[in-house]
Structure 1
Amino acid sequence: MAPMASVKIGIIGGSGLDDPDILDGRKEVYVDTPYGKPSDALILGKINDVDCVLLSRHGRNHTIMPTDVNYQANIWALKEQGCSHLLVTTACGSLREEIKPGDIVIIDQFIDRTTKRAQTLYDGQETSPAGVCHIPMAEPFCKRTREVLVEVAQSLGIKCHVRGTVLTIEGPRFSTRAESLMFRQWGAEVINMTTVPEVVLAKEAGLCYASIAMATDFDCWKDHEESVCVDNVLKTMKENSNKASSILLSAIPLISDMDWTHTIQTVKAMAKSSVMLPKH
């Protein structure tokens, strides 16, 4: 019988959701990539004897605004470390009455409203991979990985929405009320500033990517609710950040015990077949 594919978990921590204390035996590694430096050091360690690599999306001191995150370098660095999966956390605003601040959403679709970000690893630079990549995005997130996260959240008694469409804006400003109301009409459930292009690049890299989104506010569409502001976002995250950590700590051993051979082969084959190489 063929051996199971090895599993190594990359964790990208969003605002207030990047606590390195979840890792045992930590060591820091600073790396460079063809796209420049990642947001911060890679923190290598283990969760329940499963190899993991943690990266703070905005830098550990939250010095990098969403537009300036080097998403290409972050994904490339985690792939080079041998990660098979990316479990990421993100703060988001709720665009739905039923998604309350503090709730977890295991997002399954996105709408892209970014304007300034490199959305491919195949960007035509001399140091980048050759070709043009037209990666399919009908199902942006890894279904199997999402199922594990949902199962774990429910088993822990954490209020969890099993799917949701995230709308990613450029930022760093928050939305106007008119925009917020329009995004609701489009069918978005939550709003953030970082899912795109991270999920796109992970797909190009052949990684199993899933996101734990935590609602921190009602954006600004809701009457009689205070509009989103940094103070309230930070307060909600502080009160609820243990939820994301609990999901990660329980999900990672489960993922490690599963056979991912076929899934990993499938995502890598899709990534490879999506590249149109130059004709010589």
Structure 2
Amino acid sequence: MLTRLPHISINTLTKNIHIGFRKMANVADHYNDPVSIAVIGGTGLQSLPHFTHVATLKPSTPWGTPSSPISILHHPSPSTGKPIPIAFISRHGLHHELAPHEVPARANIAALRHLGVRTIIAFSAVGSLQEEIKPRDFVVPDQIIDRTKGIRPFTFFEGGMVGHVGFADPFDNKVGKIVRQCGHSLEGEGVRLHDKGTIICMEGPQFSTRAESNMYRSWGGSVINMSALPEAKLAKEAEIAYQMICMSTDYDCWHDSGDVTVEMVMGNMKANAENARRFVGAVLDELSKEEHNEVVLAKHLEGEMKFAGGLTAAPGRSAEAKTKLGWLFPGYFD
């Protein structure tokens, strides 16, 4: 599963983050227009066909630099033909040098929001905890159980400014509905979709013990990975509509089909790579339609943190916290 492995990322599989993108002769190092949609790539999403690479950005944030440069891709709107910009970032770095607990998730999410991103489609390979979720099946999860161990920075609100955000529904229902519709439209073409599921997000980088795997099954876990958190929490704080698409690559070690191996995971990912690309491509096609503008811009989340982050009275806010959060949310806490 994606971040259950010593993550073999997009780039390990392809040796080049831009394989599958049509490159312009002169790729820019800046991009001035807002970019509303982003893809966070993980193991198994090797390329995005029919996209034109127009810029490579290397931003910095108050929380450090993102895990990889951000590629800006142009995708034609299916309704108008107008180019729609998509941001693409590789979760584990250009050479898969970042372990799950080393991914600079705050920098990734902050950089995307600063670009204008308000919808994120995140891809993850996962292990299955249930018999009916077979290797190569897709899952659009609706819940998460956090089994990380507190060593990953997981909030923007600290160091002198407190903010609380609801996390009852860790994935965005409006974007999730669109993603599910796209997945079902591909069924019968090698895609088998499970409409919901609970991700167990473990710390890693080691795989589960058999006892842990059986415990997670007893809790109602559907799949297991190492990537969903803190990404989903930070996206929620950043008022970004976030939905993960999972691809099952193996049964976790609870199953009698044998222990999880890197070879097993990679084999299933490679065999199902085209379906993964088509699924993500179909989602981006649909999100590019003008009828989804309000959802893509996450208007239903806009302003949530202005109130939540105002919990700390102005005299109690540290200068550092005000500077950082002012960068993320211009004008919110003036």
Above 0.5 in TM-score?
Answer: yes
- CA distance in 2 between counterparts of 1:38 and 1:237 reads 25
From 101, 115, 123, the equivalent of 2:158 is 123
Q: Provide the residue aligned with 1:76 in structure 2.
A: 110
Question: How far 1:265 moved relative to its partner?
Answer: 2.5
Count of residue pairs brought into register by the alignment = 269
The CA RMSD over aligned residues, in Å, is 1.7
- CA distance in 2 between counterparts of 1:151 and 1:7 reads 23
From 186, 189, 193, the equivalent of 2:222 is 189
Q: Provide the residue aligned with 1:231 in structure 2.
A: 263
- CA distance in 2 between counterparts of 1:30 and 1:163 reads 35
1:1-280 → structure 2 map (5 Å cutoff) = 8-19=36-47, 23-48=51-76, 49-115=83-149, 116-124=151-159, 131-157=161-187, 158-223=191-256, 225-257=257-289, 258-261=291-294, 264-275=298-309, 276-280=311-315
Question: How far 1:254 moved relative to its partner?
Answer: 1.5
Query: Contact (CA 8 Å) 1:205, 1:268: kept in 2 or not?
Result: no
Q: 1:42 to 1:18 in 2, by over 3 A?
A: farther
Larger CA deviation: 170-179 vs 115-124: 115-124
Query: Contact (CA 8 Å) 1:20, 1:54: kept in 2 or not?
Result: no
Query: Contact (CA 8 Å) 1:176, 1:220: kept in 2 or not?
Result: yes
Query: Contact (CA 8 Å) 2:48, 2:277: kept in 1 or not?
Result: no
Amino acid paired to 2:282: S
- CA distance in 2 between counterparts of 1:197 and 1:22 reads 31
Q: 1:7 to 1:68 in 2, by over 3 A?
A: closer
Secondary structure, in 3 states, of the residue corresponding to 2:133? coil
Query: Contact (CA 8 Å) 1:83, 1:207: kept in 2 or not?
Result: yes
Query: Contact (CA 8 Å) 1:105, 1:213: kept in 2 or not?
Result: yes
- CA distance in 1 between counterparts of 2:50 and 2:261 reads 28
- CA distance in 1 between counterparts of 2:282 and 2:115 reads 22
Structure 2: give runs of 5+ residues left out of the alignment. Answer: 1-33, 77-82, 316-334
Query: Contact (CA 8 Å) 2:35, 2:115: kept in 1 or not?
Result: no
Return the index of the structure with the highest Cα Rg.
2
Cα deviation, 1:132-159, whole Å, max 9, x if unaligned, reads 1211111111111111111111111120
Normalised by the size of structure 1, how large is the TM-score? 0.91
